[in-house]
């Protein structure tokens, strides 16, 4: 079973993508669109203070008919951060995301942010893991 830290090391984007709380939602959406991601870490003075996602944008800007040009990230970001350790398994990540109904999860080691995984990252790993198990079972049956 792979750890969350191993999954982060395999991701296409190795850069820790973030935004400051004082930036606008237009800034956040521009970064998310450029990198084809659904959430950003919100950082202030090198400390994680929240997460902002497409879901936050939909609920807090689109539905409330606010302007993304004037709405600040800090006005809609999720402040209660749920994170896991880099040593946790991808299965633990899936469990937490399912229970908490979240799609993005920061991964920490001590006080350091290693990166963020999405539900898509974890499902992709689960499928690869299951294919590997099936292949092993088929080899065992044939021998």
Place 129 in a pLDDT band, splitting at 50, 70 and 90. confident
CATH of the domain at 129: 3.10.580.10
Question: How far apart, in Å, do the first and last CA atoms of the chain sit?
Answer: 25
Instruction: Write the DSSP assignment of 47-93 as a string of letters.
Output: EEEEEEEHHHHIIIIITTT--TTT-BHHHH-B-S---EETTSBHHHH
Our CA angle for 56, 16, 128, nearest 5°, is 85
How many distinct structural domains can be found in the chain?
1
Query: Where do we find the tokens 């292949």?
Result: 135
pLDDT at 120: 92
pLDDT at 140: 86
Name the residue range of residue 26's domain.
4-142
Instruction: Write out pLDDT tens, residues 20-32.
Output: 999 999 999 999 9
Model pTM above 0.75:
yes
pLDDT at 11: 87
């Amino acid at each position: 079973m792979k750890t969350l830290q191993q999954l982060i090391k395999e991701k296409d984007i190795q850069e820790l993508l973030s935004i400051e709380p004082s930036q606008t939602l237009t800034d956040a959406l521009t970064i998310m669109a450029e990198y084809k991601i659904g959430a950003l870490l919100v950082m202030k003075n090198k400390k994680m203070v929240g997460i902002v996602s497409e879901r936050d944008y939909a609920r807090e800007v689109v539905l409330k008919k606010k302007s993304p040009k004037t709405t600040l990230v800090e006005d809609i970001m999720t402040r209660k951060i749920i994170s896991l350790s880099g040593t946790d398994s991808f299965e633990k990540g899936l469990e937490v995301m399912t229970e908490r109904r979240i799609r993005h999860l920061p991964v920490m080691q001590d006080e350091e942010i290693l990166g963020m995984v999405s539900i898509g990252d974890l499902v992709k790993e689960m499928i690869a893991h299951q294919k590997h198990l099936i292949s092993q079972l088929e080899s065992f049956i044939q021998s």
